[in-house]
Amino acid sequence: MTTALATDPLYLEHRSDGHPERPERLRAILDQLERTGLRERMVELAPRDASDDEIRRVHGGAVLERARELAEAGGGWADVDTFVNVESPAVARRAAGGVLAATHAVLRGEATNAFAAVRPPGHHATARQLMGFCLLNNVAIAAGAALDAGLQRVAIVDWDVHHGNGTQAIFDADPRVLYFSTHAAPYYPGTGRVEDSGIGWAQGTKVNVPLPHGTSDAGFVAAYEQVCVPALERFRPQLVLVSSGWDAHARDPLAPLMVTTAGYTRVARLVRDAASQLCDGRLVVALEGGYDEHALAWCASALGALLLGDEPEPDPEPVVPPLRVPSVEAVIEAARRVAGLASPE
């Protein structure tokens, strides 16, 4: 089993003082991969930029133009949350290129799976709008490239605490893309209702599980066991892409879920095993959110171990899940019903 790693020092140049989407996030991940010896066992991919054609496959020209205008003005804000500095357009192009490089390495058989440790994140960026810390939708661009390469079924699994509104909107009418998301609700950006299941021929290929605030490991894992894996099994993807936000972690300062490193590890194992069963292990995981450096480091090293076929090293500072958590049974049953999945025996 070969695991590729796509990362680049350029990703550290996108920054704004005091903003939670900061270079230290990526440094924590890479330092942990080196400390555990996982990085040296991965095949590092050569940096590349996403081309204009690859970007325009999912984004209109307005996205690139807006980022360029802000950068040429010395930096500014695309919205109340999303900054652009002088380096940001180049960094975003390289981040999308990192996920593309990882995807093509897997599709060409040069790697079984891959981790794209990139920033800025991407899943909120829509076809025409920068938003939610995101400039270019890295995973959507990679999915578009995979479809252009001849794949007929691509699955995107999004375990960020926020719904990937941009990703779903880009592929909402495309039946070749299964989009599955767990996310806190109500919460930013306010999308991702259970009923939002796709448009036209794509109806049923978009599966949302909005989790109540306070959901911990049991509910989070149940959503993947009872909804995500059955949806993947029915769809039978040729490639699985993951929007990996680790901000549903109980340590995260921005989010209202209570998932632990162990819970994230169980979900990563489920998705890895599904990819192994359904598409010869072709799996690409791309970094999205997550704003606690300890949680990022230990979730990333657990993921890296799983991709390499190892048993992850446990988090040395585990968070104890709360004793009282909200029930997720109703939302899981609703998600299964809307997706047309049979009730479990």
Percent of the chain whose pLDDT exceeds 70: 99
φ, ψ at 84 (rounded to 5°): -135, 125
Distances (CA, A) of 221 to 41, 159, 175: 29, 11, 26
Distance between CA 345 and CA 216 in Å, rounded? 24
Q: Is 76 helix (H, G, I), strand (E, B) or coil?
A: strand
Total structural domains within the chain: 1
| Among 56-65, 196-205, 206-215, 276-285, the least confident range | 56-65
pLDDT at residue 209, rounded to an integer: 99
Tell the residue number behind the tokens 């325009």, with chain if given: 56
The runs of H, that is alpha helices, within the chain are: 23-35, 52-56, 61-72, 88-107, 138-148, 165-171, 217-223, 229-235, 261-279, 293-308, 329-339
State the residue range of the domain holding 274.
3-339
Question: Computed from CA positions of residues 217, 221, 222, 223, in that sequence, does the dihedral angle turn out positive or negative?
Answer: positive
Percent of the chain whose pLDDT exceeds 90: 96
Average pLDDT over residues 28-37: 98
Q: pLDDT tier at 168 (50, 70, 90 boundaries)?
A: very high
Distances (CA, A) of 32 to 47, 149, 305: 21, 34, 12
The answer to whether residue 34 sits within a structural domain is yes
The answer to whether residue 210 sits within a structural domain is yes
The runs of H, that is alpha helices, within 36-87 are: 52-56, 61-72
User: Cβ distance 248 to 255 under 8 Å?
Assistant: yes
The answer to whether residue 81 sits within a structural domain is yes
The answer to whether residue 253 sits within a structural domain is yes
Residues annotated as catalytic (active site), given as ranges: 124
Distances (CA, A) of 257 to 162, 175, 253: 10, 30, 10
The answer to whether residue 345 sits within a structural domain is no
Helix 293-308 × helix 23-35 angle, to 10°: 50
For residue 307, pLDDT beyond 60: yes
The answer to whether residue 108 sits within a structural domain is yes
Maximum CA extent, the chain: 60
Q: What is the number of residues in the chain?
A: 345
Distance between CA 49 and CA 133 in Å, rounded? 20
Kindly state the helix (H) or strand (E) to which residue 263 belongs, with its residue range: helix 261-279
Tell the residue number behind the tokens 């049923």, with chain if given: 204
Average pLDDT over residues 236-248: 99
| Among 117-131, 159-173, 316-330, the least confident range | 316-330
Q: Is 251 helix (H, G, I), strand (E, B) or coil?
A: coil
Token pair for 311: 């048993």
Q: What CATH number corresponds to the domain at position 70?
A: 3.40.800.20
Average pLDDT over residues 319-328: 91
Q: pLDDT tier at 33 (50, 70, 90 boundaries)?
A: very high
For residue 290, pLDDT beyond 90: yes
Residues 6+ apart with CB under 8 A from 81: 131, 132, 133
pLDDT at residue 323, rounded to an integer: 84
Distance between CA 205 and CA 213 in Å, rounded? 25
Give residue-wise pLDDT tens across range 101-124. Answer: 999 999 999 999 999 999 999 999
Distances (CA, A) of 326 to 22, 123, 220, 234, 265: 32, 27, 11, 29, 21
pLDDT at residue 321, rounded to an integer: 82
The answer to whether residue 344 sits within a structural domain is no
The answer to whether residue 159 sits within a structural domain is yes
Q: To 5 degrees, how large is the angle CA 187–CA 78–CA 177?
A: 60
